Amino acid sequence: MNEVIEKKDFIRDIIDEDIKNGKHKKIKTRFPPEPNGYLHIGHAKSICLNFGISQEYQNATCNLRFDDTNPEKEEMEYIDSIKEDVKWLGFDWGENLFHASCYFDKLHKFAVYLIEQGKAYVDNLSFEEIREYRGTLTKAGKNSPYRDRSIEENLNLFEEMRNGNVEEGKCVLRAKIDMKSPNLNMRDPVIYRVKKSDHPKTGDKWCIYPMYDFTHGYSDAIEGITHSLCTLEFEDHRPLYDWFLDQLPAEWFPSRPRQIEFSRLELTYTIMSKRMLIQLVKENHVSGWNDPRMVTISGFRRRGYTPKSIREFMKGVGISKSKGYVEFSNLEYYIRQELNATSPRVMAVIDPLKVVITNYPEDKVEEFDVEINPEDKSSGTRKVPFCREIYIEKSDFMEEPSKKFFRLRPDGEVRLKNAYFIKCEEIIKDNKGNIIELRCSYDPLSKGGNSPDGRKVKGTLHWVSVKHGKKIEVREYDRLFKTEFPGKETGNFLDDINSESLTIKKHCIIEPAFFDYNKNTRYQFMRNGYYYPDPFDSTKEKPVFNQIVKLKDTWQNVKK
């Protein structure tokens, strides 16, 4: 039998086992972002895993849940962008959209229950004192003097906090666990604090808010999540989530989630923490969250990456517990591979140099039929007009070429792709000595770019007819950071910003065929790379293209 055995990961293996043993009939996962920034490519790993599982297993679902416990840092803009990004990546939460803030009533009830069981207390230590009392990895913590308050007093004080009668920072509610635990998370974590801020969802209903850890684990259980998948840094939080659940009657929850940790996606030449991404935006190092150089989902979208290429990349990366960096060029490989198969080819000259073909009739126009995509025979052909004046790439001509330069040189001959052989006869310069035009002759017998007599030319150039070409702006991108691990040497990632990461070319020329496609088309500019019309700045009158990725991985060579 020719059965394809799909390679699974250890998480899917566990789920398979749980289904086989009858532990679960319906698998329920969730993607739980804090709405305090835009999603980045690391989040896409978690999205592809959680939503991927919900697509693969029968009756499985995946919740999109906003863990919105910090009203000061959260905004509707972030919530909207997260939804848009998850959808764009190709996933659908259906009815399963939740906010942890919907559980604030329940969570408050849980907190009161913990107090009633003698498992939580109101502490009047300041935040600094709490930190001090907490100890370190090598030093045990010590008990707060307020730890042994009576249940009654705690209930009253917590009620006071809730009613707005306590100032911010004056007291908090803490779980009573173990100040000597080797796990710092278990040293009486704060579970509620006073915060007199309105919340995007609950408005001014609350002036106390549950902490992230308290909210997160309980929210999974409230939602009946079967497998709570998260990144490795939550491994140390698992005992705390378990402790929280152990204190409440099991029948209060539809399930007891099983937390499984996997390693985060880390990419070279970038940073992925929201805190740093916010800094890049707020300090104007980039044009915004969706700057095409950002590793945000919205940045990749704007740049022209496809959702499929990101999903395929994630499949390639896989899920495991081993930590490590993935090469950025690995991601580029996937988009290149996809676009090579799907994108229409056009000729576009980024830095134009005019060429006049002196022996070509002045008013003559020829149209060559050229394949749209040689990788996809069904794509058909396009018409490429040719006439006496054309543009070629400045860098395709050298007045004093090195031996290995096979493109156009004085008295040299090259092929114009799909058109003719031309020979450089004369160089025209301005009064500063800059080359502004070339005079060439063409060989009428070399039509279609074919050699008439077996003579060979080494270089093949792309070109655009002066009369028919259309002016466009092209934005070329390099890595946003110069070093593989930004900030590693200097301690400040901003020191490693690549000041040449954006090059704007305002006077590029493209062949007219590109008008035949819709504005969502990703093109291959022949010999150059893949390009996408900027969704915000590009108009029919003034097209603006973002470089998605170069044709070849030149980065390794440039690096030195």
Q: Tell me, letter by letter, the H, E, C secondary structure of 140-203.
A: CCCCCCCCCCCHHHHHHHHHHHHCCCCCCCCCEEEECCCCCCCCHHHCCCEEEEECCCCECCCE
Which CB, 162 or 293, lies closer to ligand ATP? 293
CB of residue 32 to ligand ATP, shortest distance in Å: 5
Q: Within 13 Å of residue 67, how many CA atoms lie on the same side as its CB?
A: 16
Quick one: 321 or 519, whose CB is closer to ligand ATP? 321
Shortest separation between residue 19's beta carbon and ligand ATP, angstroms: 23
Residue 504: CB atoms within 10 Å: 9
- Work out how close the CB of 189 gets to ligand ATP at its nearest, in angstroms, rounded to a whole number: 17
Q: Which is nearer to ligand ATP, 33 or 257 (CB)?
A: 33
Binding residues for ligand ATP, rule: CB under 6 A, are: 32-34, 42-43, 45-46, 230-231, 264-265, 272-274
Nearer to ligand ATP, 47 or 194 (CB): 47
Check if 506 is active-site: no
Which residues, in sequence order, are bridge partners of residue 497?
A: 481
264 is catalytic: yes
Closest among 59, 65, 50, 64 to 27, alpha carbons compared = 59
Minimum Å distance from CB 123 to ligand ATP? Answer: 26
Q: Which CB atom, from 66 or from 397, has the smaller least distance to ligand ATP? A: 66
If the CB atoms of residues 261 and 413 are measured against ligand ATP, the closer one turns out to be 261
DSSP state of 379: G
- Give the C-alpha separation, 226 to 234, whole Å: 17
What gap in Å lies between CA 496 and CA 557, rounded to an integer?
A: 19
Tell me which of 264, 354, 467, 550 is the catalytic residue.
Answer: 264
Q: 275 or 404, CB closer to ligand ATP?
A: 275
Which tokens sit at 334? 């996937």
Residue 321 is among the residues annotated as catalytic for this protein: no
Nearer to ligand ATP, 272 or 466 (CB): 272
Q: 79: closest CA among 98, 61, 62?
A: 98
Scanning the structure block, which residue is given the tokens 């086989």? 20
Q: Which is nearer to ligand ATP, 30 or 149 (CB)?
A: 30
Give one word for 288, left, alpha or beta, with left for phi > 0 and alpha for psi -120 to 50.
left
- Helix and strand counts by DSSP (H, E) for the chain: 13, 27
CB of 353 to ligand ATP, least distance (A): 45
Alpha helices in 343-467 (DSSP H): none
Residue whose C-alpha is closest to residue 505's, from 555, 454, 553, 544: 544
List 12, 34, 312, 409, catalytic entry: 34
* Minimum gap (Å) between residue 542 Cβ and ligand ATP: 36
**CB neighbour class for 450 (10 Å; exposed up to 12, middle 13-18, buried from 19):** exposed
Q: Is residue 233 exposed (0-12), middle (13-18) or buried (19+ Cβ within 10 Å)? A: exposed
Q: How far is CA 98 from CA 30, 93, 111, 210, 220, in A?
A: 10, 10, 21, 16, 11
| Helix 151-162 and helix 104-116, axial crossing angle in degrees, nearest 10 | 160
Query: Looking at 274, 302, 388, 415, which residue is catalytic?
Result: 274
For 29, residues 6+ apart whose C-beta sits below 8 A from its C-beta are: 49, 50, 51, 53, 54, 60, 61, 62, 63, 225, 226, 227, 228, 229
Indicate the residue among 99 and 345 with the shorter CB distance to ligand ATP. Answer: 99
Rounded (5°) CA angle 311-312-313: 90
Query: At 199, which amino acid appears?
Result: H
Active site residues: 34, 264, 274
